[in-house]
Amino acid sequence: MADNKDEKKVDEAEEELVDFEEDGENQEVAAEKKEGAKAGTTYVAVNIAGFRDFLLKPELNRAITDNGFEHPSEVQHQCIPQAILGQDIIAQAKSGMGKTAVFVLSTLHQLEDADEKFVQCMVMVHTRELAFQIKREYVRFAKYITFAKIAVFYGGINIGRDKEILRRGSDDFPNIVVATPGRALALTRDGDLQLNRCKFFVLDEADRLLEKLDMRKDVQEVFVTCPASKQVMMFSATLPKDIRETAKKFMKDPLEIYVDSQSKLTLHGLQQYSSDVDEHKKNRKLTDLLDSLEFNQVVIFVRSRDRCEQLHWLLTDCGFPCTMIHGSMDQEERIKTYQSFKDFKSRICVATDLFGRGIDIERVNIVIQYDMAPDPDTYLHRVGRAGRFGTKGLAICFLGGERRGGYGGGGFSDLSDKEVMRQVQDRFEVEIKPLPDKISVDSYMQS
Ligand code: AMP
C-alpha cells in the first residue's frame, strides 16, 4: 500500500488535473451519416443481422441473451463487425442508441486470457458517474468471461485504493480499466497504471474529452504510454468537424461514421415542449407539472450547483421527495446518489450538466430543463436522458425572460433562452411547440 505522504502528494497533484466541470459547457457542432431505423415506439433495432451473426464468443452471446438484447441497433450493426477485427473506429450515434455496447462487446470479445496480468483495455470518460456506469456495463457482459477483471478509477476518492488494486499480485488486478482523465494520469505518472501492453484504447463522449486543451493534454499523456499498435475507438452523439480532425490524429485509417444531417440526431420517441416562464414563476410551474404529469422518473436540469441545492430543498419542502447531483458534492455521495436513482429509490433528481451526458437511467421518461441549456448540443444531450433506446419520453424546457447567469464558470451565456431554442429547432429540424395544458399520457409513457 502507498504511504500517506505519497497519497497526499498524488492527491495534491491531482487537484491540478482535470475531470469534467459542469459549469463550462461546450460549443460542439452536431453532425451525421445514417438514420436509425424507425418502428413505433422502439425504432432502433435493425433486423438485418442478429447478435449471433457477429460470431462473438459464446460467453458473450449468453450474456447478451441474459441482458435481453434481441437485435443490434444501427450503430452496433455498423461498428461491431469492424471493431472485433481490430479496426480503429470513430462513430457518432444518436443519444441512447447503444454505443457503449459496441466497445464493451468488441473489447471483451478480443480480450486475451493471458497468464500474466496486464491492462489490455483502457477506457476514458469525462465524468466519474459515467465511468462507474461503464464499469457496470462491462461487468454485466463479462458475466461468463471469468478472466475479465474490470476496475474503475476516478478522482475525489483516496488514490491508495486504486494503487492497491494495481499492485502486482493483487487478486483484483484488472485487464480492463475505466477511468476519468485526472485520476488516470495521476496513476500513470506514478507508474501504478502501466499501459505498455495495452491493446484497446477507448474514448467515450470523445468530443468532451478532446475539446478543451487541458483535458485533451491529460488524455494524450495517458495515450502515449500505450503501444503504437493498439486499437483506438471513439464515440459520441456530437462530433464537431474540428474535433473529428483532432480525434483522427490518435487513429490509423479509422472506420468513420458520422451523422452529418443534424435533424437525424432528433429522438423521435420524445415529445418536446417549451414554456415561457419568468424566473419567479418557475417553482410554481414545476410543482404543478410534477403534480399533473405521470412519470416513472424525472431529471430536472438547472444551470449551477447553488440552484441545484436550492431547488432540491424547495421540492423536498413542498412534499416532492427528491435527490440531487452536482459537482461540489462529496464523490462517494455522488456515486451513491447515481446508484440509488438508477435503482429507482427516488423518482425525482435535480441535476447540473454533470448528469447531462451519457448517463443511462432506463426509467427516466421525463426531462425538465428548469434552466434552459446554454447551447443546442447541451440541449440535445440533456433531453436524451429520457427516451433511452427508442422508448417514449417527454422533454419540457422553461424559457426565462431575463439574462441567464451561471454558465461558463459563473459567467453569462451569450444566448438568451429563446435564441438557444430557435437554434435547437433550426439545427435539429424539430418543431418544439408551446407546452399545452394537457398532454396525453400515452404520448410519453410506455403502455
Ligand atoms: P447507450 O447508448 O450505450 O447508453 O445505451 C442506451 C441503452 O440501450 C442502455 O440501457 C443499453 O443497455 C440499451 N441497449 C443498447 N443496445 C441494445 C440492444 N441492442 N437491445 C436492447 N437494448 C440495448
pLDDT digits (tens, 9 = 90+) for 291-348: 999 999 999 999 999 999 999 999 999 999 999 999 999 999 999 999 999 999 999 9
State the average pLDDT for the chain.
Answer: 87
Contact 64, 71 (CB under 8 A): no
Q: Is the per-residue pLDDT at 261 higher than 90?
A: no
DSSP state of 435: P
* pLDDT above 70 coverage of the chain, percent: 86
Grid-cell match 447515481, residue found = 338
Question: How many residues in the chain?
Answer: 447
Contact 183, 155 (CB under 8 A): yes
**Domains detected in the chain:** 4-19+264-443 (3.40.50.300), 42-259 (3.40.50.300)
Q: Is the per-residue pLDDT at 88 higher than 80?
A: yes
Q: Which amino acid is at 68?
A: G
CA dist., res. 232 & res. 236, Å (int): 14
* pLDDT above 90 coverage of the chain, percent: 72
Mutate to test the pocket of ligand 1, among 51, 76, 79, 100 (most ligand atoms within 8 A of CB): 100
Q: How many helices (H) and strands (E) does the chain have?
A: 16, 16
Grid-cell match 431529471, residue found = 299
Q: Is the per-residue pLDDT at 228 higher than 60?
A: yes
Contact 104, 121 (CB under 8 A): no
Ligand 1 atom with the smallest distance to the CA of 101 is: 3
How confident is the model over 13-51, as pLDDT tens digits? 444 555 655 543 332 222 333 333 333 334 345 455 799
CA of 101 from ligand 1 middle (Å) equals: 7
CA dist., res. 128 & res. 225, Å (int): 22
256: left (phi over 0), alpha (psi -120 to 50) or beta: beta
Rounded to an integer, the average pLDDT of 59-70 is 95
pTM above threshold 0.75: yes
Q: Is the per-residue pLDDT at 1 higher than 50?
A: no
How confident is the model at residue 427, as a pLDDT?
A: 87
Q: Can you name the residues that pair with 149 across neighbouring β-strands?
A: none
- Phi, psi (5° rounding) for residue 201? -125, 120
Listed in sequence order, the DSSP H helices in 323-447 are: 331-342, 376-383, 407-410, 417-428
Rounded to an integer, the average pLDDT of 160-183 is 96
How confident is the model at residue 100, as a pLDDT?
A: 96
CA dist., res. 151 & res. 138, Å (int): 10
SS3 353: helix
HSE-CB at 443 with a 13 A cutoff on CA atoms is 12
Longest Cα pair distance anywhere in the chain, in angstroms? 64
User: Sorting pLDDT into bands at 50, 70 and 90, what band is 410?
Assistant: very low
CA of 409 from ligand 1 middle (Å) equals: 33
How confident is the model at residue 27, as a pLDDT?
A: 29
CA dist., res. 115 & res. 198, Å (int): 15
In this structure, the number of other CB atoms found within 10 A of the CB of residue 442 comes to: 9
Ligand 1 pocket, Cβ-based, cut-off 6 angstroms: 69, 71-73, 76, 96-101, 360, 362, 388-389
How confident is the model at residue 24, as a pLDDT?
A: 39
Break the chain down into helix, strand, coil percent, rounded to 5.
40, 15, 45
CA of 96 from ligand 1 middle (Å) equals: 6
CA of 304 from ligand 1 middle (Å) equals: 30
Q: Is the per-residue pLDDT at 417 higher than 80?
A: yes
CA of 98 from ligand 1 middle (Å) equals: 4
How confident is the model at residue 388, as a pLDDT?
A: 82
126-135, 266-275, 394-403: which is most confident: 126-135
Q: Is the per-residue pLDDT at 368 higher than 90?
A: yes
User: Sorting pLDDT into bands at 50, 70 and 90, what band is 81?
Assistant: very high
Ligand 1 atom with the smallest distance to the CA of 51 is: 19
Reported in sequence order, the residue ranges of 237-373 that DSSP labels E, i.e. its strands, are 255-257, 270-276, 297-301, 323-325, 348-351, 364-369
Rounded to an integer, the average pLDDT of 168-189 is 96
How confident is the model over 180-222, as pLDDT tens digits? 999 999 999 999 999 999 999 999 999 999 999 999 999 999 9
HSE-CB at 442 with a 13 A cutoff on CA atoms is 1
